[in-house]
Amino acid sequence: MNLIQRIHGQGQGPAHTHDESETHSHGVPFWVRHYDMIVNLITFGRTKTIHRETLSLAGLRPGDTVLDIGCGTGALLLEAENTVGPEGTAIGLDVEPAMVEQARRRAGKSHSRATFGVASIDQIPYPDDTFDVVFSTLMYHHLTESQKGAAFSELSRVLRPNGRLIMVDINPARRNILTSLPGHSQVEREDYVRSEVTERMQIAGFTVVEEGAHPSKQLSYAIGQKV
């Protein structure tokens, strides 16, 4: 399995398993330790800009409670934490324990109060009406058909009334570098964020308040509001 397939969880079986031969002494695999650098290379050094563009779509306010589901190494959430401030709450969840471990390390280094946990989008371990804003970036294309249906019900359940769901994923219609990477044959089709994702949002009871090309043109976004 190549590096890109590992990053995108292709054919790994249970998401929390990993090859011990690729693990360094602290238990975090090589590809997770270098995930941020790899993504930054793939995006031509624009990772921070993409995160800021995504955050500006969300209209976060100081004091908000925010969840990043499929948070990876936590980079977006730590930026979000700067906006929600000390009165707010920033929580990251990811199904891959090594990602969560790496996110915790990163948070520790920056003296962040954000918390991270291992969980899947179709079973979010928080009560109803907990979050003002939920982000899901570059993770939708990982999900199986049955997870997709359950995911939107869960996201609706944990959002507060009028809470917003911001989903960002690859826009394959633009035939960009991301869709030509190995392990991405499953996303080489139409702009699924603006079609499939918005449809699923509506089925789950969200009002789609905005959708379109992300300022980073390789991506699309959709924003749903819980009624």
Ligand X SMILES: C[S@@+](CC[C@H](N)C(=O)[O-])C[C@H]1O[C@@H](n2cnc3c(N)ncnc32)[C@H](O)[C@@H]1O
Of positions 130, 147, 195, 225, contacts ligand X by CB under 6 A: 147
Percent helix, strand and coil across the chain, each to the nearest 5: 40, 25, 35
Q: How far is the CB of 200 from ligand X (least distance, A)?
A: 15
Q: Is 127 strand, coil or helix?
A: coil
Backbone angles phi, psi at 37, to 5 degrees: -65, -40
- The site that binds ligand X (CB under 6 A) totals a number of residues, namely 22
120 binds ligand X (CB under 6 A): yes
Site pattern 71..110 for ligand X (x: CB under 6 A): xx---x-----------------xxx--x-----------
The tally of CA atoms less than 13 A away on the side-chain side of residue 42 is 19
Cβ-based nearer residue to ligand X, 155 or 201? 155
138 binds ligand X (CB under 6 A): yes
**Residue 89 Cα to chain centre, angstroms:** 17
Cβ-based nearer residue to ligand X, 47 or 65? 47
Q: How far is the CB of 73 from ligand X (least distance, A)?
A: 7
Residue nearest to ligand X (CB): 72
172 binds ligand X (CB under 6 A): no
Q: How far is the CB of 32 from ligand X (least distance, A)?
A: 9
16 binds ligand X (CB under 6 A): no
Give residues in contact with ligand X (CB under 6 A): 7-9, 15, 39, 69-72, 76, 94-96, 99, 120-121, 137-139, 142-143, 147
